[in-house]
């Protein structure tokens, strides 16, 4: 552990945090930070190899970690993510819905239907379904984090539908869902 990491506080001691799409990129960094602050973290993504590598890296930093394969639009794999978390840790305190897709850079009026379906499915629908599945285990004080983007506030013409799915996530944060 680096000197900088040793200075980090332990705000998440005793907490259990699920982060989707967390074997690389922003999701991995979120999982790492939560873990360094004391949480037991559950990392997940589509590929077993990536999950295994992320688990190894986090364990090497002294973080309590469980790895589960979960492609977020796969219902069975979402269920596995929740069930394996609860089997191992008995509860869920934090859910970070981080997975997103942005398969093409195309103008809205030229965006293929398959791309429209994919960005809504991964970026929005899977987030809502994951929350529905996690809800029975969340309690007062639990946290749900939906990773949006600056493009949610300012959609750009070349990635308009991606941006608007991120606007939808901002809308979801305005709801008192529990
Ligand atoms: N990067 C940016 O500049 C930026 C800016 C603003 C907001 N964001 C948002 O931040 C979040 C993370 O972005 P990022 O750039 O870190 O993403 P990224 O680098 O593309 O994330 C890759 C990670 O996601 C996993 N993954 C990809 N598709 C998945 C799926 N369908 N289900 C589960 N796991 C999946 C990958 O592992 P596998 O290959 O093993 O699945 C890998 O662990 C997204 O919500 C994005 O919209 C990013």
> Averaged over 124-150, what is the pLDDT?
96
* Domain boundary assignment for the chain: 3-100+125-148
Is-contact 94 18, C-beta < 8 A?
yes
pLDDT digit string, tens, across residues 10-25: 999 999 999 999 999 9
The answer, yes or no, to whether any atom of ligand 1 lies below 6 A from the CB of 147, is yes
162 catalytic residue (yes or no): yes
pLDDT digits (tens, 9 = 90+) for 139-164: 989 999 999 999 999 988 888 999 99
Write the pLDDT tens digit of every residue in 38-95: 999 999 999 999 999 999 999 999 999 999 999 999 999 999 999 999 999 999 999 9
Q: What is the pTM of this model?
A: 0.96
CB 134 within 8 A of CB 143: no
Q: What is the CATH number of domain 3-100+125-148?
A: 3.40.50.720
Query: Do residues 160 and 108 make contact, with C-beta atoms less than 8 angstroms apart?
Result: yes
How confident is residue 176, by pLDDT bands cut at 50, 70 and 90?
confident
Asked whether 103 lines ligand 1 (CB < 6 A), one says: no
Query: What are the residues whose beta carbons fall under 8 Å from the beta carbon of 176, sequence distance 6 or more?
Result: none
Atom of ligand 1 nearest to the CA of 25: 16
């Amino acid at each position: 552990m680096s000197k900088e990491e040793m200075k980090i506080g332990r705000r998440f001691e005793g907490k259990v945090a699920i982060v989707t799409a967390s074997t690389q990129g922003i999701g991995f960094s979120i999982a790492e930070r939560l873990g360094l602050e004391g949480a037991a973290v559950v990392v997940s993504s589509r590929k077993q190899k990536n999950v295994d590598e992320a688990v190894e890296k986090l364990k090497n930093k002294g973080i309590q970690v469980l790895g589960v394969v979960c492609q977020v639009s796969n219902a069975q794999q979402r269920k596995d993510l929740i069930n394996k978390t609860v089997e191992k840790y008995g509860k869920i305190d934090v859910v970070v819905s981080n997975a997103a897709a942005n398969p093409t850079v195309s103008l809205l009026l030229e965006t293929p239907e398959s791309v429209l379906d994919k960005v809504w499915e991964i970026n929005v629908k899977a987030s809502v379904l994951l929350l529905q599945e996690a809800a029975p285990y969340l309690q007062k004080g639990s946290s749900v984090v939906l990773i949006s983007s600056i493009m949610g506030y300012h959609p750009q013409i070349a990635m308009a539908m991606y941006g608007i799915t991120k606007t939808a996530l901002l809308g979801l944060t305005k709801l008192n869902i529990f």
